[in-house]
């Protein structure tokens, strides 16, 4: 059994149930085998530049700032900051009137959207668990997905202690063995970047962003493969 075959088993499950997902999408600190997006509102501006989002965050915290205030935020070339401002204007997030900068449309980076990351392994659950822990920096929930024959060999207490969920994967079933805990270390800017990258590269191009709206995380794994 090869790892990519186990990934394909989960992919089929997600496709059969119209769940937004992507494979090996760079997500800030790491590249999960599978990333899932839940409750992503339509109209969400998808920005994947940390510096631009950080600048927006600074502007938002001050409500209204002048151009000079913006230039004073960072010790970098003004031409770079102008490029960041231009991008925010193009995305209709801010507008500039005279020397003042106004928020036009808010980016709710700490909204109800949920990001789930999955590391997939055939046997090596220890290295998989270590990698899944890293995903908590930008994900709401993180799982290790193991081929069904290897699940009984894991130390379940390690998963419980670290808050990582465990999935048992076979050709006919994806089963949640251990429920994950919501991350307490998730950086909301990194999460927004991750969701932006997911939506740009999602495997289901025809699925709208509200797929699984208001669906509890645990219900994802109570669905079935298409017959």
In a domain, 188, yes or no: yes
Model confidence at 75: pLDDT above 50:
yes
Kindly state the percentage of the chain with pLDDT values over 90.
43
| The model's pTM | 0.85
Same domain, 83 and 143: no
Other residues' Cβ atoms within 10 Å of the Cβ of residue 2: 9
Query: Distance (Å, rounded) from C-alpha 214 to C-alpha 112?
Result: 9
Q: What is the pLDDT of residues 87-98, one digit of tens each?
A: 999 989 999 988
Q: How many domains does the structure of the chain reveal?
A: 2
pLDDT surpassing 50 at residue 39 = yes
Confidence of residue 28 (pLDDT cuts 50, 70, 90): low
Start-to-end CA span in the chain (Å): 23
Residue-level length of the chain: 227
CA 201 – CA 195 distance, rounded (Å): 10
CATH number of the structural domain spanning residue 63 = 1.10.10
What pLDDT, on the 0 to 100 scale, is given for residue 221?
75
Read off the pLDDT of residues 41-64 as tens digits, 9 standing for 90 and up: 777 778 889 999 988 888 888 766
Residue ranges making up the domain that contains 143:
3-42+112-222
Q: Is residue 154 assigned to a domain?
A: yes
Q: How far is CA 185 from CA 72, 91, 182, 191, in A?
A: 29, 28, 9, 11
Parallel, antiparallel, or unpaired for β 34-38 and 114-121?
A: antiparallel
37 and 57 part of one domain: no
In a shared domain, residues 191 and 145: yes
Does the residue 227 lie in any domain?
A: no
Tell me, yes or no, whether 200 and 135 share the same domain: yes
What is the Cα–Cα distance from 96 to 68, expressed in whole angstroms? 12
Kind plus residue range of the DSSP H or E element containing 165: strand 165-169
| Residue 209: predicted pLDDT | 41
> 67 and 117 share a domain?
no
């Amino acid at each position: 059994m090869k790892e990519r075959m186990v990934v394909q088993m989960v992919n089929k499950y997600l496709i059969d149930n119209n769940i937004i997902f992507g494979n090996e999408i760079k997500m800030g600190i790491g590249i999960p085998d599978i990333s899932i997006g839940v409750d992503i509102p339509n109209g969400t501006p998808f920005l994947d530049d940390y510096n631009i989002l950080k600048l927006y965050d600074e502007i938002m915290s001050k409500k209204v700032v002048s151009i000079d205030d913006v230039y004073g935020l960072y010790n970098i070339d003004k031409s770079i900051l102008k490029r960041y401002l231009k991008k925010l204007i193009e995305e209709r997030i801010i507008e500039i009137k005279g020397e003042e900068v106004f928020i036009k449309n808010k980016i709710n980076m700490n909204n109800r959207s949920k990001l789930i990351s999955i590391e997939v392994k055939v046997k090596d659950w220890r290295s998989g668990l270590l990698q899944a822990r890293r995903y908590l920096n930008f994900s709401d929930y993180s799982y290790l997905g193991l081929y069904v024959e290897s699940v009984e060999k894991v130390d379940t207490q390690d998963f419980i202690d670290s808050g990582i969920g465990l999935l048992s994967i076979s050709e006919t079933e994806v089963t949640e063995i251990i429920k994950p805990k919501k991350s307490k270390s998730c950086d909301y800017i990194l999460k927004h970047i991750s969701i932006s990258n997911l939506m740009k590269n999602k495997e289901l191009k025809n699925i709208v962003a509200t797929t699984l709206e208001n669906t509890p995380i645990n219900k994802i794994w109570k669905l079935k493969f298409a017959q």
